[in-house]
Structure 1
Amino acid sequence: MAHLGLVALLVREYDEAIDFYVGDLGFELVEDTARPDGSRWVVVRPAGARETALLLARPSSAEQQARIGDQTGGGVGLFLYTEDFARDHARMVAAGVRFLEEPRHEAYGSVAVFVDLYGNRWDLLQPRSTE
């Protein structure tokens, strides 16, 4: 059975991205390996996650550089699922993560949009239990 392993996310600098994703969002650093061309293979994922992770990638062209923070045209492009919305929202606010709205409670769950250090929009989302 296949699964989605990595999603590439363009970043300005590796270390500042690691600081944000690991320090502010609470992700874990899975790998940080130097490559012969001077780039690095940097993988982070939410603590406890086992399948999908982010590959933090520095741009290799001016076109990619222009897309940092705007990989989805200004819409929410990444969804961080949680089992405890209130806990994770409070922890992220305390860490300085910038939320663009107050938490909402929708038919599908609790959600609030936040931005990463580059301006990419994310949903912090606790899906409504279907049990």
Structure 2
Amino acid sequence: MKQDIVHIALVVRDYDEAIEFYTQKLHFTLLEDTYQPEQDKRWVIISPPGSTGTTILLARASKPEQEDYIGAQSGGRVFLFLNTDDFWRDYEEMLTRGIEFVRPPKEADYGLVAVFKDLYGNLWDLLQLKKDHPIS
């Protein structure tokens, strides 16, 4: 048996501001932006540069109770993990693009890590996993 997690939904306030943040500040690729008239929503898929794995579905909050979770989908824990082939290159560039890091870089057993916020306050790990890490 083979299964994959294809998309992770990230609740956002506005499609266009989210697309701008992820494509301009984090260099993500916009893979799809399709209007779905029957539901009056867009199917917006992004992925990190060079990635061939799981993608992110930018899902605009459509009800007031969903709006409460924008930026807080994981209750204040790190929610998403962005692995890179060059931690210091990406860290320095993210700083120049105004990305807010809430925990500075550190060496951990599994590699280099720093925690940053996206435009809504979701916490992300920027990682460079060690070569011997099981998923590197």
Whole-Å Cα distance in 2 between the matches of residues 112 and 105 of structure 1? 9
The aligned residue for residue 9 of structure 1 is: 10
TM-score between the two structures when normalised by the length of structure 2: 0.93
Q: After superposing the two structures, state which structure 1 stretch, 8-17 or 30-39, moved more.
A: 30-39
Whole-Å Cα distance in 2 between the matches of residues 13 and 60 of structure 1? 10
Q: Give RMSD over aligned pairs.
A: 1.1
Which residues of 2 match residues 56-95 of structure 1 at below 5 A?
56-95=58-97
The aligned residue for residue 27 of structure 1 is: 28
List per-residue Cα deviations over 1:39-73 (Å, max 9, x = no partner): 11000000111120000001122111110000000
Whole-Å Cα distance in 1 between the matches of residues 86 and 72 of structure 2? 28
The aligned residue for residue 97 of structure 1 is: 99
Q: Which runs of 5+ in 1 are unaligned?
A: none
Q: Which runs of 5+ in 2 are unaligned?
A: none
Any runs of at least 4 consecutive aligned residues in structure 1 with deviations exceeding 4 A, and if so which?
none
1:127 aligned onto 2:92: no
Offset of residue 38 of structure 1: 2.1
Which residues of 2 match residues 31-46 of structure 1 at below 5 A?
31-36=32-37, 37-46=39-48
Equivalences, count:
131
Offset of residue 101 of structure 1: 2.0
Offset of residue 28 of structure 1: 0.2
Structure 2 residue identity aligned to 1:90: E
Offset of residue 129 of structure 1: 1.8
Offset of residue 76 of structure 1: 0.2
Whole-Å Cα distance in 2 between the matches of residues 57 and 120 of structure 1? 14
List per-residue Cα deviations over 1:71-115 (Å, max 9, x = no partner): 000000100001110011111111111111221111111000000
